[in-house]
Homo-oligomer: A and B are copies of this chain.
Amino acid sequence: MATKVNRQWRLVSRPVGLIAESDFEWMQEPVPTLEEGQILVRNIYLSLDPTNRGWLTEGGNYLSPVATGEVMRGFGIGVVDRSRNANFPEGTLVQGFLGWQDYAIADGTNLSELSKDPFVPLTADLGLFGFIGMTAYFGLLDIGQPKVGETLVVSAAAGAVGSLVGQIGKIKGCRVIGIAGSEEKCRWLRDELGFDAAINYKTESVLESLQQHCPDGIDVYFENVGGEILDAVLSLINLRARIVLCGLISQYNATEPVPGPYNLSNIMNQRAKLEGFLVLDYFDRAQEALAELGQWYAQGKIQYRVDAIDGLENAPRVFNKLFDGTNQGKLAIKVSEE
């Protein structure tokens, strides 16, 4: 059996600000021999998500930080290439924390089998039918509790999660306003995804545009960004508004402490609720989301977009697309062929 080479991105220093290639080391090592119970996974798609940035900080976020010297943590989809574990025969599609590398060795405890629908491309399992879809689904419906006729605002609206949140909001009968970072993205939200309005935060005053597009105030805010956008939204929230705190992209690369919203008092005055949300709390309810998302997809009510860029070697550079406003839909690295 030929010795395979495993190319890897290993963390060598904690990034300051945006990650740099120099924070990682590009290493190549032979794939070790499997022990009993282990499997070798050939990685196909590596998911790049804003929350990964938090795993690189000194204190981590909801997960412990990646230690220097370790392969960068990353969620991905792969296929079992060799197996010494009867639960994962060769050829099985799996998903889990495969890392920024060509091959992952696992004992199966942190992986799950991916049941592939032959009529849906594998990339969909990274987005709509993966944890991204579940994030949008449970975050909006469970925490946001949108009601027919209410106004929903979503930030990072052209991102993987945001674009689904807005579409689910439309299905649920809300007026949906998205905030995104380019005219092209705003057109996509309005013309393709059916958002009622889209605001380009790079060229418009978010507050003034929200005032214009939300004449009845804001009932639900799905927060991916933080900072000034959160403040603009808070100044327009209605009584008993729900704010789903799903992400704070604007501050993940901050090098100094970032202040919270200046309009905090409006949460009190409007008896609103700001609630933190992480999809990992909902993994046991995955089927609930996937069944309904699948139905909406089959009915043509929901679209998704995956931007899969070739080449593991590009991972650090491509990762920063999540923060510079150039990403649209689900960002991923295609590590190897399906």
Contact = CB atoms under 8 A, between A and B. Distances in A.
Contacts of A263: 260
A61 interface: yes
A67 to B, nearest CB: 19
A234 to B, nearest CB: 9
A281 B274 contact: no
Given A259-B259, A264-B226, A276 B269 contact: yes
A301 interface: no
Contact of A274 (B61, B62, B248, B274): B274
A266 to B, nearest CB: 8
Interface string A236-249: 00000000011110
Interface string A255-267: 0011111111101
A171 interface: no
A295 interface: no
Contacts of A278: 268-269, 271
Interface residues of A, number: 31
A277 interface: yes
Counting chain B CB atoms within 10 Å of each CB, the highest count among A54, A246, A261, A269 belongs to A269
Interface centre among A247, A257, A262 (most CB of B within 10 A): A262
B261 A270 contact: no
Contacts of A306: none
A34 interface: no
Interface string A213-257: 000000000000010000000000000000001111001000001
Interface in A264-315: 264-265, 267-278, 281
B281 A276 contact: no
Nearest to A271: B276
Q: Which of A248, A267, A281 has the most CB of B within 10 A?
A: A267
A94 to B, nearest CB: 27
In the complex, the 4 A-B pairs of residues with the closest C-beta atoms, listed nearest first: A260-B260, A259-B259, A268-B276, A260-B264
30 contacts: A54-B265, A61-B265, A61-B268, A61-B269, A62-B270, A245-B267, A245-B268, A248-B264, A248-B265, A258-B262, A259-B260, A259-B262, A260-B261, A260-B263, A261-B264, A267-B274, A267-B276, A268-B276, A268-B277, A268-B278, A269-B276, A269-B278, A270-B276, A271-B276, A271-B277, A271-B278, A271-B281, A272-B276, A273-B273, A273-B274
